[in-house]
Amino acid sequence: MRKYIGDKAFYAMLFAVLIPIVIQTSISNFVNLLDNLMLGSVGTEEMSGVAIANQLLMIFNICIFGGLSGAGIFTSQFYGSKNDAGVRETFRIKLFIGAFVLVGFAAVFLIFPRQLISLYLTDGEGAGDLGKTLEHGMAYLRIMLIGNIPFVTTNIYASTVRECGKTVLPMKAGIAAVLTNLVLNYLLIFGHFGFPRLGVEGAAIATVISRFVETGIVILTVHLKKSEYGFLRGVYKTLRVRLSLVKNVLIKGFPLLLNEFLWSLGVAASLQAYSARGLAVVAALNISGTVTNTFNVVCMSMGSAVAIIVGQALGAGETDEARDRARKLIAFNVAMGLLFGAIMFVAAPYIPLLYNTTDTVRDHAGNFLRVSALTMPIFAFLHTCYFTLRSGGKTVITFIFDSGFMWAVTIPLAFCLVNFTPLPILPLYLICQLADLIKCVVGYVMLKKGIWVHNMAAENA
């Protein structure tokens, strides 16, 4: 067991990185849960329309994450090797990647909003008014496109700061943003204290404003405290980047961008397959997903911790230390998955009662929550396994491991079960989630072989 449990110094290092990320993510997920409850109290159609729009926006969000992650692998290792010039170059590369993804998705969402949202609208048990759901989704999506600009900007700055081990600033900015969002949601969704009652549009406006608040805090702090964030000093004096580094970032980063795009598209495709069982299933999965994210906050945050802690060890040339850290981080995350999964399983029947929706939606949501609780340790292992493989730049392998598996196994399985069997939605959903056990075996083998141990900072110094 000593191989899997660290000493006090190890956990002190882990918590110094992890706790600010957990605090920021916890507050963000809790506010998302409150937002979900607010929209749910307005009506099922409003909640479902926003859920569908957010499913589409999630593809954009994750593509930004994936696109920046390729450069981020180099950032962590450059910082570990004390190469500030390399950090500045990866930051500039992120600027170009972010602009490219932003423009591409804006064009798609502006041209095809009706067609995209309509993919999820199917008559069925507890379906509700599909026309109203469509209009609410389109209204929300149009406004949220404005918020994508500060979202990209924040992610470029915050990801670089985190990869250099400085997680407190993104935490503070994130807290300010989610609190702003919460207050404005209360005022603009319901029209309290003389504000207009805007419903779905109010929720979108609140989110956009909060994103500008977050961006302002991050940018001002980084550029005013140059002594603390010196690795970004002079970053805009030129936008030139070594061609050799751009080439290497693209080689490592494109599989990540493609992976995140296909993975998020796969999540959307899975939801579209489940939606064939009716809009009530879409609403229930929205409730389940939001609540699960709240309970899953530590497991999710561990991905960033692994990228920072393991990546810096690799960049410093400490390969044995990197292996040891990865093993202990994965063990810790699985333990957290067991703990929070057990808590959520017990709470699952009661949480949907907080929503002003139909009994059908509540029953489905409670069942989905229990499935998510049972599979949380599986998710915890796979999440940290993915980030461990990625920390060493093995992005093609992570592409096959993540989105490759989803499109080869999970989505065909869901499509076949939905369209060619009479299975009720609960056992159908459970079978699709348990398919990830196959990935666990593959991930364990790849970790054991150590194919991810790779120092890229030395090669690109």
pLDDT tens track for 385-403? 888 887 776 777 777 878 8
Residue 29 pLDDT greater than 80, yes or no: no
Q: Are 299 and 333 in contact (CB under 8 A)?
A: yes
Structure tokens at 165: 């081990």
Task: Provide, rounded to the nearest whole percent, the portion of the chain with pLDDT above 70.
Answer: 93
Q: What is the DSSP string of 313-374?
A: HHHTT-HHHHHHHHHHHHHHHHHHHHHHHHHHHHHTTTGGGGS-S-HHHHHHHHHHHHHHHH
- Least-confidence region, from 74-78, 352-356, 452-456: 452-456
- Tens digits of per-residue pLDDT, 2-11? 788 888 888 8
Residues 187 and 196: their CA atoms lie apart, in Å, by 8
Residue 257 pLDDT greater than 80, yes or no: no
**Per-residue pLDDT at 56:** 85
Residue 407 pLDDT greater than 60, yes or no: yes
Instruction: Report CA-CA distances (Å) from 296 to 30, 38, 56, 383.
Output: 11, 21, 22, 11
Structure tokens at 322: 């990197």
**Per-residue pLDDT at 36:** 66
Task: Provide, rounded to the nearest whole percent, the portion of the chain with pLDDT above 90.
Answer: 27
| 433: confidence class by pLDDT, cuts 50, 70, 90 | very high
> In terms of C-beta density within 10 A (0-12 exposed, 13-18 middle, 19 or more buried), how is residue 30 classed?
middle
**Per-residue pLDDT at 458:** 54
Mean pLDDT score, 19-40: 72
- Counting Cα atoms < 13 Å in the Cβ hemisphere of 388 gives 28
Sequence-distant (≥ 6) Cβ neighbours of residue 349 within 8 angstroms: 366
- Tens digits of per-residue pLDDT, 278-323? 878 888 888 898 889 888 888 888 887 888 888 778 877 778 888 8
- 3-class DSSP assignment, residue 141: helix
Residues 134 and 120: their CA atoms lie apart, in Å, by 9
Nearest to 223 by CA among 173, 170, 157: 157
Mean pLDDT score, 118-136: 72
Residue 125 pLDDT greater than 70, yes or no: no
Q: What's the mean per-residue pLDDT of the chain?
A: 84
Sequence-distant (≥ 6) Cβ neighbours of residue 273 within 8 angstroms: 411, 414, 415, 418, 419
Residue 20 pLDDT greater than 90, yes or no: no
- Least-confidence region, from 21-35, 99-113, 408-422: 21-35
The structural domains of the chain, with segments of one domain joined by +, span: 8-454
Q: Residues 429-450, buried b or exposed e (16+ Cβ, 10 A)?
A: bbebbeebeebeeebeebbeee
